[in-house]
Amino acid sequence: MKSHSKLSSDKIEGTVFSPRQVRILKIVVVVLGIMLVAGFALVIGTLIYQSSNLTLRSKSKMDARQQKILEPLNPGRSFPALPSGITILSTALDQNRLAITFSDEKGLGIMIVDTQNGTIVSTSRLRLPNSPMLKK
């Protein structure tokens, strides 16, 4: 009985814990809190590292891809010179055909170029509502 009464007297008043248990719980809470903060810091640091490293890696890969794209398909052949006064609005590539959407003093147009031999396959004018071309 003595040991039982001693155990009950070691308890902190109003709780079921002894001072030793409370001390251990405080240490556990502090250690887990530090681990939680360190984990968040590690995740944020990893995100920052990966995003900056990704930019560098993608830049070097892009340079290699761009160099490959810029190599001529058929060495010694060149694309035809575009007429003066043309503003290129967009381009689209489909296998060996390049569609160039352009504008000039006559309005909008689409030019199709064969990328294998560099010749202009066709040129079409776009007729838009309220366009001066419709009034002809």
pLDDT, tens digit (0-9, with 9 covering 90-100), for 59-92: 555 555 555 544 555 555 566 667 778 888 899 9
> Is residue 102 within 8 Å of residue 108, measured between CB atoms?
yes
Can you name the residues that pair with 120 across neighbouring β-strands?
Answer: 113
Question: What range defines the domain where residue 41 resides?
Answer: 2-68
| 64 lies in the same domain as 114 | no
| 82 lies in the same domain as 119 | yes
| 107 lies in the same domain as 52 | no
Least confident of 1-5, 85-89, 119-123: 1-5
CATH number at residue 90: 2.40.10
Which residues, 6 or more positions from 56, have their beta carbon under 8 angstroms from its beta carbon? none
Among 53, 44, 50, 114, smallest CA distance to 79 is for 114
Tally of structural domains, the chain = 2
| 24 lies in the same domain as 50 | yes
Does pTM top 0.75 for this prediction? no
Domain boundary among 10, 40, 68: 68
What gap in Å lies between CA 25 and CA 16, rounded to an integer?
13
